[in-house]
Structure 1
Amino acid sequence: MEWDDPVGAARLGATFRLLMQVRILVTALTLALVPSELMTLETLLLLSGVGSLSAIVLFSWQQIVPSLLRHPVLIGFDVFVAYAVLEIGGVTGPFFLFTVVTSMLAGLLLVGRWLVAVCAMQVLLYFAAATGFGAARELVNFQTVVAMPAFYLVAGFAGARLRHLYDRQSQLEAARRAAEVVAAAAEERSRLAREMHDSLAKTLRGIAMSAQALPLWVDRAPARAAEEARRIAAAAEVASREARQLIEDLRDETFQQPLGRAVADVAAAWAEETGTAVTQRVDTGIDLPLRARYEVIAILKEALENVHRHARATAVEVCLTQETDRTVLRVRDDGRGFDGGQDLGRLLSGGHYGLVGMRERAHNAGASLSVDSAPRAGTTITVVVPDPGVESAGSVNLEVA
């Protein structure tokens, strides 16, 4: 696990801070538990010093942890601080607990021979402190000769296993991200295939059928033939626009960004292109699964395009928020609005194809779409995407006043 892995570094840093907090707590308990007859000035200064040093390390962990990872020898300083604690305070009692944290830090941050070296050095310095303290009867005790030195090995092993779990988790997450990229690419190919089948292919098929019938209308009803020709031209324009959109989607990397970042970028680019003022209230940390993300971004683009073509708005507001169990996108303009009733047929006859397309996209995303508009009162389009696991009918509600 490298320090430039944000998730792995966060885990490592959190554990390091926890160990520093444990050390500070042990120091405070030591000050409280040491009998007054043993609390010399030297002991008081030592415990105050190591407690303050631990606090400094705790608040500077972002600089210290990378340095220890790059230069393992620096942990030797902590080993000798631990020895000083044992030398002055003795190997028994709460003083010993302070030094065990060093072994666990070594297991967490170091690997291989560095960890072995630190544990071996701590065991040797432990015996040096024990013999130097003058408590010979303690050296023949099982606890002081075997059990307490073994704590250094156990703590080092625990730290090493914890580090191994973190490394393994980072590898699994990297593999998951790689798999998500592959799945996203496959989903994108499937989506483009669906788009070509559902939109472009059907449009072209309609053009072909109308063109086949056109000669008959020319002979039987020239006026009808002229009308059909205009429809064919309009359909060809629609097909051309759909083809351009598919090509743009192939080149557009917006859909690969997190939803919040993509919404902000789309709104900013549209404002720059059209010169219309856009107020953004977007939480850039919000994201959705690829398919829902694609449909929501496509709805946003269509909504902004409708504003540009039809609304004559002077200001637009784009909001993206995360509520308790849903993601909400809202696009509001101060344009002229419209009165189309709630009948989709009337919207189609009125040329509001974009609203129908947005309804279909909302259904594909498992979302609900509402349109609130009135003449000279602007239009508000709201898309609500439930969180995974929350049922939705993928409905559309055209609330046109």
Structure 2
Amino acid sequence: MVLALAFLCLFEFGADIVAPLGPRWRWLRSLGWGLFLTWGSVTLLLSLLPQPLPAWRMDIEAAARLLLGFPGGMLTAYALRRHTFHLLVPLARPHIISMLRMAGLAIAAYSVLAGLIGPAEIFPPLSEATLERFLGVPVFLLRSLAGIVLVGGMLRALEIFEIELSSRLGSLEEAQILASERERMSRELHDRTLQMIYGAGLLLRNLQTQMEPAQAATLDPVIRMLDQAVQSLREILQEWQARPAMASLVDGMERLIREYGLPALMDVETDWQIPADAQLPPTQLRHILAIVSEALSNVVRHARARRVRIAAALKDGRLQIRIADDGRGFGPEAQPGFGLRNMEERAHLLNGRLEIQSQPGLGTTVILEIPWGGIRRGDLYRPLRAGQPQPEEQEGRPGGHVEANQEVAE
């Protein structure tokens, strides 16, 4: 029974690998279980006979090897080959491809050694004793060697997950940078360019009132062009910032957890002590999710954590988000990087506070606390506090370019 279960696992492993290659392969998953149940039913009936057939145990062992062991191993070898050439060759990682080829050959060898070669009572021409006399090496040693090669190849192939993770992180960081740059450009266009063009139009209209009618008429095409430029810029800004009036915080954080692939990398615990459909203004939600995104990115890239807990609670009109991991942490001598400064700036724009607690070897905890939904749109663009970087120092940083002592035209 243990031997048959092992062969079933091998068969299902091959079926799972080949299944993504197309719907015509999915039936193999059911085939393995069907063969195993058929074998198990026959075995049970034979064991309950009042006078068991001679050598029935050898017969059912031979059936397990032929029905599950040999086809399962060959299916897995074929699946690895197909998977390698169809899905991994575009990644241009020759060392991973060669290791998977070796793993496929090792599985094929194992399927022959374990599926077709057994005790002398099962297959006299292909018995273990016959092969041992021919090669001078015990068969169990050859099987172990094939298993070692297989394990080595599969462990090396796990680099695929690291490549996928790096690619996903790169895409997320690029999207975050593009969103921050778009936000900065929106502010620049709204607070500078749009106001300058609008002011130029007002100056021309004022100048028209002081000119002769015939001369004033020559400025009409210029004024119309300026009005069209203002309208075009407003349409561009509306398109860039097109979002629903309100959005769900819980949905946004769960989406970030999925995008970073946290469940596949570590144990993830979530604790939402806020209504699942609780809504926030889009501008406020965007800043909150940017802070959470940066914190989760640090957990994935630097923490080397095995467990992370993400909690959000609403109490006395204040929202607290806590992200705690059990990673390697850092000491007070660590210099804050670009991402941390960006998080602090966004927390300040939200009228909140950001606290980071960390010790070497004891993990890191990021705590964000802000007023719930009580922030006016203008507050998100207000001047920085004394001691914060001046506008020229933060040009091009995510979070935008904030003009000191500037009134925002809504």
Interval containing the TM-score (normalised by the shorter chain): 0.3 to 0.5
TM-score (norm 2): 0.32
Structure with greater helix share of residues: 1
Q: Which has the higher contact order (CA 8 A, sep 6+)?
A: 2
